[in-house]
C-alpha cells in the first residue's frame, strides 16, 4: 500500500515519540549501531539504543535467532509456569549482590514494574507515602508519573494522582561539594522519617538517574540511604530499568556498590529489545503480604512465556560473551575518545560515565540555565542533521546523554567523534 507524506501527517499521533526528531524520518532498517531512513543513503548512528532497550545492537543475529526459536515454541499463554521461568528467575536472583529470599514477578514494560513495586510496598507496609527524588523518571503510567519529576511531564493536565509522594533532591558526584550535599540530603530524609515513618511505605530511587543525564551519586550515598530506610522499617525500591542488563559494566549497577534493596526493577534489554519484559525482584515476604485471591498483579501479557524464553537465552548470551567485560573495555575507550574531544570545548561541562552510560552538562556563554538548554537542543538537532541520534536530558534540558551499542566498533567510535566535532564546531 502506497503511503504519502500527507498520510503520514494525517495519521501521526501528535504526542508520541515520533515528535522527538522528525515525524517524516521513516525507519527502513536497523543493524548494530546503524539505522537507515527512507530516502537517505547514509545510515544514522544510534547513540541511544532506544533508551538502552537495544543494548546488544539492533537486530543482533544471535538474539534474533532466540526470538525466532521462542516464537516457534510458545506465544502468549496465561496462567501457567515453565521451566524457563524458573531458570530465568534463578539467574536474575543469583546475580544480585544479596540474593536472600528474593523472587521475581514478570510484568510488561518498565512503568508496569514501577506500578507493581509501589503496590507491593503499600500492601506490605499498609502505609501510603512514597519518597522519591528530584530528577527521577519512572514512566508515564499514573503511579509512574506520580513519582517522576515534574520537569519530565506536565502532571496537572491529567488530574489527581494516586497516593502521596515526597520528593528530595538527588546528589551528583561532580557537583560542587558533592559529599556535603549528599550528607545534607540524607539528614533531611532521616529527619522526615523520624516524624513520618509510620506513614512512609517506600523510598524509590534510580541508583543512577537516567533521564537526568546519567547522574551518578557520590560515595556512600546509596548504602547510607538503605541503612536509614532499614532503621525506620521503610521498603527500598531500586529502579535499575535503564542501568540494568550490563549498561554500567555489571549486570546490575548495585553489584558495584553492594547494596541490598528490598525490591529491584529491570526491563529495557532484558528480552533483547524484542519483547517489553520487566522484572520485579522482591523479598518473598513482601509478595506474601498480597491477597493472592485478589492480587491485582495478573494481566493478559504478564508472566509472558514468549518474552521469558527470549530473556532466558539473553542471560546465557551475556554470560557466554562476557558482556560486562566488553562494556567495561569498550566503555573506557569510548570515554577516552569523548573526553579528548570535549576537553577542547568550553561549553561542555561535567562529563561523566560509568560502563557505557555517558552524560554531560551544556553551559552557554551567558551562564544561564535556559541558554544552556537551548544550546543542548541545538546540539541534538545538529547531531541529527549529521546522522547521529542523541538526546537532551536533565530537569532543565541542559544535559546530554549517550548510551551506545555494546558492540560499537572502534571505526564507528572514530566516526562518531568526527561527527560530534563537526556538531560542536557548528554550535560554538
Domain boundaries, the chain: 5-60+324-427, 74-320
One DSSP character per residue, 247-282 reads: TTSSSSTHHHHT---SEEEE-GGGGTTSS-B-EEEE
Which tens digit of pLDDT belongs to each residue from 12-66?
Answer: 998 888 888 988 999 999 999 999 999 999 999 999 999 999 999 999 999 999 9
Mean pLDDT over the full length of the chain: 96
Q: What angle do CA 160, 165, 169 make, to 5 degrees?
A: 130
pLDDT tops 70 at residue 272:
yes
Which tens digit of pLDDT belongs to each residue from 139-159?
Answer: 999 999 999 999 999 888 998
Q: Which residues contact 267 (CB under 8 A, 6 or more apart)?
A: 53, 109, 110, 113, 241, 244, 276, 277, 278, 279
pLDDT tops 70 at residue 133:
yes
pLDDT band at 281 (very low <50, low <70, confident <90, very high): very high
d(CA 325, CA 246): 9
pTM over 0.85: yes
Q: Which residues pair with 105 in a beta bridge?
A: 280
**CATH level 2 (architecture), domain 5-60+324-427:** Alpha-Beta Complex (3.90)
Residue 3: per-residue pLDDT: 86
pLDDT over 90 for what percent of the chain?
Answer: 91
Which tens digit of pLDDT belongs to each residue from 175-190?
Answer: 999 999 999 999 999 9
Residue 1: per-residue pLDDT: 55
- For domain 74-320, give the fold: 3.40.640
d(CA 24, CA 18): 9
Amino acid at each position: 500500500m502506497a503511503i504519502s507524506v500527507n498520510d503520514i501527517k494525517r495519521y501521526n499521533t501528535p504526542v508520541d515519540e515520533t515528535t522527538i526528531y522528525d515525524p517524516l524520518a521513516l525507519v527502513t532498517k536497523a543493524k548494530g549501531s546503524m539505522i537507515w531512513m527512507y530516502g537517505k543513503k547514509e545510515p544514522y548512528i544510534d547513540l541511544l539504543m532506544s533508551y538502552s532497550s537495544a543494548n546488544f545492537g539492533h537486530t543482533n543475529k544471535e538474539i534474533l535467532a532466540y526470538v525466532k526459536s521462542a516464537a516457534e515454541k510458545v506465544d502468549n499463554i496465561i496462567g501457567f509456569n515453565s521451566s524457563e521461568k524458573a531458570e530465568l528467575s534463578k539467574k536474575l536472583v543469583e546475580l544480585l549482590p544479596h540474593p536472600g529470599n528474593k523472587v521475581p514477578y514478570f510484568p510488561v514494560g518498565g512503568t508496569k514494574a514501577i506500578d507493581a513495586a509501589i503496590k507491593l510496598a503499600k500492601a506490605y507496609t499498609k502505609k501510603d507515602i512514597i519518597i522519591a527524588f528530584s530528577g527521577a523518571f519512572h514512566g508515564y503510567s499514573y503511579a509512574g508519573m506520580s513519582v517522576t519529576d515534574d520537569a519530565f511531564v506536565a502532571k496537572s493536565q491529567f488530574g489527581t494522582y494516586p497516593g502521596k509522594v515526597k520528593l528530595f533532591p538527588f546528589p551528583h558526584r561532580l557537583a560542587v561539594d558533592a559529599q556535603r550535599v549528599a550528607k545534607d540530603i540524607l539528614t533531611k530524609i532521616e529527619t522526615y522519617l523520624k516524624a513520618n515513618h509510620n506513614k512512609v511505605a517506600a523510598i524509590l530511587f534510580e541508583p543512577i538517574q537516567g533521564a537526568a543525564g546519567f547522574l551518578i551519586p557520590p560515595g556512600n550515598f546509596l548504602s547510607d540511604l538503605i541503612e536509614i530506610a532499614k532503621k525506620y522499617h521503610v521498603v527500598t525500591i531500586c529502579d535499575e530499568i535503564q542501568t540494568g542488563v550490563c549498561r554500567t559494566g555489571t549486570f546490575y549497577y548495585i553489584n558495584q556498590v553492594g547494596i541490598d534493596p528490598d525490591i529491584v526493577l529491570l526491563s529495557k534489554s532484558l528480552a533483547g529489545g524484542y519483547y517489553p519484559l520487566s522484572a520485579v525482584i522482591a523479598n518473598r515476604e513482601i509478595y506474601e503480604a498480597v491477597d493472592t485471591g485478589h492480587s491485582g498483579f495478573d494481566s493478559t501479557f504478564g508472566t509472558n512465556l514468549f518474552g521469558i524464553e527470549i530473556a532466558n537465552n539473553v542471560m546465557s548470551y551475556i554470560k557466554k560473551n562476557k558482556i560486562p567485560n566488553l562494556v567495561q573495555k569498550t566503555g573506557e575507550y569510548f570515554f577516552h575518545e569523548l573526553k579528548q574531544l570535549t576537553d577542547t570545548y568550553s561549553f561542555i561541562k561535567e562529563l561523566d560515565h560509568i560502563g557505557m552510560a555517558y552524560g554531560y552538562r551544556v553551559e552557554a556563554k551567558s551562564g544561564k540555565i535556559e541558554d544552556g538548554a537551548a544550546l543542548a537542543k541545538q546540539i541534538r538537532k545538529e547531531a541529527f542533521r549529521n546522522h547521529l541520534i542523541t538526546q537532551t536530558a536533565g530537569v532543565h534540558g541542559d544535559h546530554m546523554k549517550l548510551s551506545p551499542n555494546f558492540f560499537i566498533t572502534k571505526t564507528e567510535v572514530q566516526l562518531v567523534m568526527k561527527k560530534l566535532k563537526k556538531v560542536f564546531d557548528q554550535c560554538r
